[in-house]
Structure 1
């Protein structure tokens, strides 16, 4: 660890609050070389955990710096690898709770800004967000607050960001795990004074899971790494690049990097097929609705939405 950041974090840990001036001092140390080293990332996370009161400027810096370290500073850019995903989960779990001002925002930000992350991190983020929404209280980074036992507008916004995050559990679509989470949250908060936005999100997101179509599928980390390696190989220029492919058969060469060229599909037919609620989806929906042996208002709204979309 560089001496300047070590000296600064040691001094700031003794303070009751991380102020805008403290944040500026940290920025001046961290950003000049344009990169955050692992030791610096540990120091920043330690400081964020140690000092409980933080200015908005500090929280912004913390999220910005940690997201850069996790998502941007590696090859291929935008892909969080297993090591960094493990590091993030261990750091968040370090004090036994998720800090709603910084760590909560960081989890969502990573899923929003990354192209793909390991499945373990997707599962972890879902579990943490569900726990936070149901049990936590306190301020969030955007000025709203968490209210245990009910769903307010701030929590709806948080859930929406997670559900539609690029690197979330179902990129461009709401996954089964995410839909299950929404049903659990609904059941736990059914009698509470929830924000009107909650019913809208629940209905639209579960409807998305059952009926939406998307052609988007991010490259795996392995495939992206292979492609990144080829595209960044500048040893022999374009001619050499094509020559290497030609040596083994150009079609096979491109196929090994980019994958097989997809066969033409009837897009309208694919959309229509996904729009239909098939037997497996019907069985899942029925089991979720029958779980408490009654049809609640949100479930009625969901069924009305599905019926309207199918007509």
Structure 2
């Protein structure tokens, strides 16, 4: 495993970290002392390197049991690498998402709740994540529901197609995460996934949370609360950070000249340069998009007609939409 080409101290810390991880992997368990040592080494230089992150994945794959303390550390450390390992902070690039999925999906399956929770927490924390990562997580959960096997299950004891409380929580966290298309923004991909799960599990003993999750999610999509401009792309965030970091006299002179020559602009810098007083008014944006369009009506009719009947959940969804809440 390659080590980071940085200063000698960082290289030494990375080497020691990897040695600790490999020793624990050989034993198939992480003791309390080993976990403490990993924490000290990992945060000692303020960063988690790719070599360290990959060592943690190798260790997680080797563990016979994963304690809550281990899962907390693993999720925290991998999230730190993905979101803050390279500028801009709190952004997950396409390359980082592909790396993460590659580490988790190397054998074609998600092995543990630690890996699943790791991806969900990154989506929740990030200001922006690629659709590829979000859709991958939802695909994993959908397969688990339909097969009864995976990290959210203990052998699929009830049936292969029921929706568990753990799966409901993960789906809700992902489709309403700020790192998706925007806060409270449910996409067509998400809504169609909810319909597929509903159709496959209609007669099963699903978790109590499922009914409201289905109705909340599809109603949200139909109301059009997508906030297409709520996120700044990874590339644009880099450009903006570079501009803010540029403290050269040229930039200062330019801003001063604008203020002097166009006083009214100087008095309204916030408006001209996009300063936000209290952030977006999501309530107003949601209200603006509440009307269900003809296109959305056609989509809904198609989804409901797919199985040839209007079931109880679909009836409740229609009632919610009609009530306008």
Unaligned ranges ≥5, structure 1: none
2 CA distance for matches of 1:267 and 1:44? 39
2 CA distance for matches of 1:130 and 1:90? 19
Shift of the 286–244 alpha-carbon distance from structure 1 to 2, 3 Å rule, reads same
1 CA distance for matches of 2:39 and 2:237? 31
The two structures have a TM-score, normalised by structure 1, of 0.84
Question: Among residues 225, 229, 244, which one is paired with 2:242 in the alignment?
Answer: 229
For residue 185 of structure 2, what is the aligned residue in structure 1?
173
The alignment status of 1:284 with 2:292, answered yes or no, reads: no
Q: Answer whether contact 1:123 1:169 (CA < 8 A) is retained.
A: no
Question: Among residues 287, 303, 310, which one is paired with 2:318 in the alignment?
Answer: 303
The alignment status of 1:159 with 2:171, answered yes or no, reads: yes
1 CA distance for matches of 2:120 and 2:84? 15
What SS does the corresponding residue of 2:87 show, helix, strand or coil? Answer: coil
2 CA distance for matches of 1:275 and 1:289? 20
For residue 16 of structure 1, what is the aligned residue in structure 2?
28
Task: Quote how far apart the aligned CAs of 1:246 are.
Answer: 7.1
Moved more, 20-29 or 127-136: 127-136
Moved more, 287-296 or 205-214: 205-214
Please tell me the root mean square deviation across aligned C-alpha atoms, in Å.
Answer: 3.0
Shift of the 114–267 alpha-carbon distance from structure 1 to 2, 3 Å rule, reads closer
Shift of the 247–145 alpha-carbon distance from structure 1 to 2, 3 Å rule, reads farther
The alignment status of 1:128 with 2:140, answered yes or no, reads: yes
The alignment status of 1:217 with 2:230, answered yes or no, reads: yes
Task: Quote how far apart the aligned CAs of 1:272 are.
Answer: 5.0
2 CA distance for matches of 1:295 and 1:84? 42
Question: Among residues 43, 50, 64, which one is paired with 2:62 in the alignment?
Answer: 50
Task: Quote how far apart the aligned CAs of 1:150 are.
Answer: 0.8
1 CA distance for matches of 2:57 and 2:26? 15
Task: Quote how far apart the aligned CAs of 1:280 are.
Answer: 0.6
Moved more, 207-216 or 72-81: 207-216
What SS does the corresponding residue of 1:196 show, helix, strand or coil? Answer: coil
Q: Deviations over 1:53-112 (max 9, x none)?
A: 111111110000000000122211111112211100111111221133211001111110
Superposed, which structure 2 residues align to 1:18-97 within 5 Å?
Answer: 18-97=30-109
The alignment status of 1:241 with 2:251, answered yes or no, reads: yes
Task: Quote how far apart the aligned CAs of 1:118 are.
Answer: 2.2
1 CA distance for matches of 2:125 and 2:63? 27
Q: Deviations over 1:179-204 (max 9, x none)?
A: 01101111111111012211011111
What SS does the corresponding residue of 1:13 show, helix, strand or coil? Answer: helix
The two structures have a TM-score, normalised by structure 2, of 0.81
What SS does the corresponding residue of 2:56 show, helix, strand or coil? Answer: helix
Moved more, 300-309 or 63-72: 300-309
Report the number of matched residues. Answer: 297
Shift of the 52–235 alpha-carbon distance from structure 1 to 2, 3 Å rule, reads farther
For residue 7 of structure 2, what is the aligned residue in structure 1?
none
The alignment status of 1:186 with 2:201, answered yes or no, reads: no
